[in-house]
Amino acid sequence: MSTVTLRLGLLRKQWSNLKRNRLAVFGLFLILFLGLSTLLADLLTSYDPNGVDLKNRVQPPSSEHIFGTDKLGRDVFSRILYGGRLSIMIGLSGALGAALIGVVLGSLGGYFGGWIDRVFLRTSETIMSFPALVLIMVFIALFGSNIINLIIVFSVTGWVSEYRLVRGRFLSLKNEYFVEACRAFGMSNVRIIFSHILPNALTPVIVSITLSTALYILTEAGLGYLGLGVPPTTPTWGNILNAAQSIDVVQEYWWLWLVPGTAISLFVLGIHTFGDGLRDLIDPSR
């Protein structure tokens, strides 16, 4: 039996086990539904998310604008789709960037130990000593707020959890017999780290990436609401919520905050339920 066949059989078994967790399947459905909707925004709406129509300002939901319009007459449904695309991209890119940094530093520190490990460990402890949101706001104040900077800030400030996960796995695996055998065959440290030990340490990182994505989407929404996220002209879920700062919007124009708030809540709920199911699948003892 080939390796490919074995892997396909393992994937089918894991998918069968995942399907038994109804909450995880529900979370996956929410992720796919909302994610695909944002990717297919060009097909689902004909309105420009930044198209101003002052004649149709703050119109309630109707057949023409199913989620109404905002104070500039922009179609809310269109802005949620295009804004969701950016918000999800920012959250996922930030989570992947943070995981990349954490995995590399955790691998090197856990394998080599000594002063390398001490430097990385003290750096992670320093970052953890600051509230994450405050640290993010400081970076944004220093370097400005745009999509690229926001992704970089999330990556630079959010790698600690993945670093500690990978470092812990390396500390327990680097003295195993298969690693000693690799050294005996004359393999380089780089090959041992990234080809033989790291694949056995990535399982918890995958779960961490899903949960970090949800965290960064919420963080972007919070920063956008405060006016500290990406430029207001760029539609994101956070920037859409920014319109709900005034009391008249909250009281009279409910669709300007309820609809984007619901979209954020459903997507984050989907990520958390799917992430929990994935964690139970990977670690049945939990």
Q: In the CATH hierarchy, which fold is given to the domain comprising 22-44+66-282? A: MetI-like fold (1.10.3720)
Q: What's the pLDDT at 13? A: 66
In tens digits, the chain (286 residues) has pLDDT values of: 455 565 556 567 666 766 777 888 899 899 999 999 999 999 998 888 888 888 888 888 888 889 988 888 899 999 999 999 999 999 999 999 999 999 999 999 999 988 998 999 999 998 888 888 888 888 888 887 888 988 999 999 899 999 999 998 898 888 888 888 888 888 888 888 888 888 888 888 888 898 899 999 998 888 888 878 788 778 888 888 887 777 777 788 888 888 899 999 999 999 989 888 877 776 644 4
Domain parsing of the chain, residue ranges: 22-44+66-282
Residue 202: CB partners within 8 Å, gap ≥ 6?
A: 103, 166
